[in-house]
Structure 1
Amino acid sequence: MKNLKPFLIVFLLLGTFFSFAQGEKKLDKIIKRDYQIIDCKIAKISDKQVEYSLPGETLLIVLDVSQIARIDFASGRSQTFDVSASNTSQDNSGQPVTAATMKTNTIAVLPVPYVNSDSQEGSEDMAKFAQNDLYNKLLDKSANIFPLTVQDLRTTNSLLHKAGINHNNIDETPIEDLEKILGVDNIVAAKVSYTIGSGTTATTYSSSNTKSNDNNKKKTNDVSTTTANTQAYYYYTVYFDMYKNTTKVYSQTRKPFLNVKDSWMDSITYLLKRSPIYVKK
């Protein structure tokens, strides 16, 4: 037993050493564009994707290179991904979206969220209608907004659809991303919020008939009818923003003077004519 004791001590020391060495094994590090750091083991790198596994796992995870700023390998070597040269952005699901070719002095009209402020429900049909209304107002006043050109509405909506952006999430997308996706340096973004109230008015109609009997006595019959009318009132708040090269250059909020169904359109016209892109002719 005494002869085995030295060997047992050496065995335990070696076991401790190897365990310590295994625990201190260096890992690769992925530094993402959002500054998140992932400790992992890189398995494969291509022009578009990086495949890696987490410590203690064999499952491969795929990450798009557009999301990566740098990789520090366990060997000490680093690889930097040139974000500034990237021609991609990310849509709302995190997938890369190819940026459109930039067209200078071009303005795009975004879908206009049309939201009931009580229920927080939006109308897709009204969002498209409001977007189309604002688009047509800009086209009609093209001479007043020169040298700006209005991007075709089909082009705008097609690019937004490919990026997974609609009237429900347009407010969540940064303007710089929208300018890259749409390929424009100017953007007009509006929003219509509303509540609906009602009021009742009563109208009374009266009539009378006079009759004479045999004794020349006159008798009058009065008849009256009351009709109740219920009127709906729309209380709008219109938000109107303009951006140039990602900078907000105009921001206004307006409530229409009249509380009728389409009065928001008057506010859009009012704000557009007072925006910095509009020049009176």
Structure 2
Amino acid sequence: MKKIVNYAVICLFLVITCAVLPSFSQAKEDVITMKNGEKKTGKIASVTKTTVKFSYSHETAEYEIDKSDISKIDFASGRTETFDQASPATASAESNVPAPAVSAEQRKNKVAVLPFEIETNDQSLATPTMSKQVQESCINALRSQSPFQTIQDPMVTNNILTKKNLTAADLSMYTPKEWAEILGVEYVVIGAYSIQNKGTSTFGSGSASYNSKTNNDKTKGTAYSASNSYTTVNYDTHVNVAIYNDHGEQIFSDSKAPAFGGVDTYKGALKTLMKRSPFGRK
């Protein structure tokens, strides 16, 4: 009888052990739930800002998993960490819109001029250098007309754009409101300079003179002639400017076509346009 009781106790112990060990083993493992629904069970070695180092159950090899692909982690300790809700900065990056640089109050009364878009049929003119030259000329014209606004230095504006890998070709990527927030200003000036090559013109002139050997005899002597010519490129130019506030509202839009076309005729046109703008001296 005693042997039967001992045997029953041993059997009960084995049953309890078999039931407890699997659950105990599972409690000691971490579970990663991916955003696609897949679950990975094993041991998390470390967690960084961007990745999670992970080993599968009964394996020693470590794998790196991007946090952006993880929905949540159920740690063996019982703690759960979720990754579905991105921070404001992450959400902004995912929507491809940079987070505002400064607050609305800090942007107050500040004006930034974006590099001008160059529209031309002469590709030798459609360069970043030309774009920034027109931008700087617009800033100079604006400064001469707007003593009460803070005009952002073009180096500051362009440095912000460079850090975000943006150029004048990216103007359509963001709304005027977003551009104002990116550049940290209340007003943003967006412009385009159209310069179309209309061909060339050649001009020339000539002259002749007679050198007499004697004052009284002009039938003898030597004739001299001279000629010169030069060629000019004719351009049809047009400057367009629009100004927006940080609410995305257009407060000014105008254009000017200089009377005489030339590569640098935008300078005079911008002076006129900035005088007409809300910032101009009336």
Match of 1:251 in 2: 253
Q: How does 1:60-75 map to 2 (within 5 A)?
A: none
CA–CA separation in structure 2 for the residues paired with 1:175 and 1:43? 43
1:127 to 126, 131, 140: 131
Kindly state the Cα deviation for residue 158 of structure 1 after the two structures are TM-superposed. Answer: 2.1
Question: In the alignment, what sits opposite 2:205?
Answer: 203
Residue 131 of structure 1 aligns to a residue in which SS?
A: helix
Q: Count residues with an aligned counterpart.
A: 218
Distance (Å, rounded) in 1 between the aligned partners of 2:89 and 2:174: 19
Matched position secondary structure for 1:218: coil
Q: Distance in 1 between matches of 2:90 and 2:108?
A: 17
Partner of 1:136: 140
Letter aligned with residue 267 of structure 2: M
Q: Return the letter of the residue paired with 1:127.
A: S
| Partner AA of 2:181 in structure 1 | K
Aligned: 1:41 with 2:43 = no
8 Å CA contact 2:241, 2:254 repeated in 1: yes
Q: Secondary structure at the match of 2:168?
A: coil
Alpha-carbon displacement from aligned partner over 1:87-140 (angstroms, at most 9, x marks no partner): 96449xx65633211312211111112342344962111212222222222223
* Matched ranges for 1:228-267 at <5 A: 228-244=229-245, 245-267=247-269
CA contact (8 A) 2:146 2:280 kept: no
Contact 1:208 1:223 in 2 (8 A): yes
d(CA) in 1 for partners of 2:68, 2:168: 29
Contact 2:205/2:228 (CA < 8 Å) preserved in 1?
Answer: yes
Q: In the TM superposition, what are the counterparts of 1:160-179 in structure 2 within 5 Å?
A: 160-179=161-180
Q: Distance in 2 between matches of 1:154 and 1:62?
A: 36
> How has the CA–CA distance of structure 1 residues 223 and 125 changed in structure 2, closer, same or farther, with 3 Å as cutoff?
same
Distance 1:277 1:220 in 2: 70
Structure 1 residue 187, shift from structure 2 partner: 0.6
Separation in structure 2 between the aligned mates of residue 137 and residue 226 of structure 1, nearest angstrom: 42
Aligned to 1:270: 272
Percent identity reads 25
Give the distance between the partners of 2:39 and 2:143, measured in 1 at CA: 53
Partner of residue 180, structure 1:
181
Q: In terms of Rg, which structure is larger?
A: 2
Q: Which runs of 5+ in 2 are unaligned?
A: 1-34, 41-48, 53-64, 70-82
2:190 is aligned to 189
List gaps (5 residues or longer) in structure 1. 1-29, 31-39, 52-59, 65-78
Equivalent position SS for 2:231:
strand
Is this contact kept in 1: 2:195–2:236, CA < 8 A?
A: yes
Aligned partner letter, 1:169: D
Q: What CA deviation, in whole Å up to 9, does each residue of 1:184-238 have, x standing for no partner?
A: 22111111121233210110111123457xxx79346544333221122332111
Q: In angstroms, what is the RMSD of aligned CA positions?
A: 4.1
Determine if contact 1:255/1:267 at 8 Å carries over to the other structure.
yes
Q: Distance in 2 between matches of 1:63 and 1:205?
A: 80
Q: Secondary structure at the match of 1:168?
A: helix
Q: Which amino acid aligns with 1:205?
A: S
Structure 2 contact 134–266 (Cα < 8 Å) conserved: no
Q: Distance in 1 between matches of 2:242 and 2:177?
A: 14
For the 8 Å contact 1:115–1:123, the answer to whether it is kept is: no
User: Which residue identity lines up with residue 189 of structure 1 in the other structure?
Assistant: I
> Which residue of 1 is the match for residue 30 of structure 2?
none
Q: Work out whether 1:154 is the aligned partner of 2:161.
A: no
